[in-house]
Amino acid sequence: MTRLTGRARRVTVFVGENDTWHHKPLYSEIVHRAHAAGLAGASVFRGIEGFGASSLIHTSRLLSLSEDLPVAIVIVDTEERVRDFLPQLDELVTEGLVILDDCEVIRYVGRDDAPRGSDTKGKKSP
């Protein structure tokens, strides 16, 4: 289990939901590669509306029925580990936006790290 506290880097990748890498969703490939690289964590968030460099607005509103909604993949780890991962993103992301910013990790605890007598929500069991 990776330990992470204090100063860190967050990389956020914005792509389309329908973007693929070898017939697999691009966001899934990024998450799996981040996991294989041993990064502290990665999450995918599906947007309900947005536009990017193409200036086409994609929305989940019923009348529009867009099938290519925006997706954000957020990865957090130390600066060194995130920077080591950037070449993989350069290979994978042919259309989209990749941003890198500083962040501070206040708490990073997995379920296996929870203190005894605690449930998964951090509250003590009776």
The dihedral region occupied by 55, where left means phi > 0, alpha psi between -120 and 50, and beta the remainder, is left
Q: Amino acid letter at 77? A: D
Domains and CATH numbers, the chain: 6-107 (3.30.70.120)
| pLDDT score, position 88 | 97
Q: Which pTM was predicted?
A: 0.79
First CA to last CA across the chain, in angstroms?
Answer: 28
Please enumerate in sequence order all residues whose Cβ is within 8 A of that of 86, keeping only pairs 6 or more positions apart, or say none: 11, 98, 100
Residue 43 backbone dihedrals phi, psi, to 5 degrees: -135, 150
- For residue range 60-100, what is the model confidence (pLDDT) as tens digits? 665 555 667 899 999 999 999 999 999 999 999 999 999 99
| pLDDT score, position 52 | 77
| pLDDT score, position 51 | 78
Q: Tell me the mean pLDDT in the region 8-36.
A: 96
Helix (H) / strand (E) containing 70: strand 70-77
Q: Tell me the mean pLDDT in the region 20-38.
A: 97
Collapsing DSSP to helix, strand or coil, 76 comes out as: strand
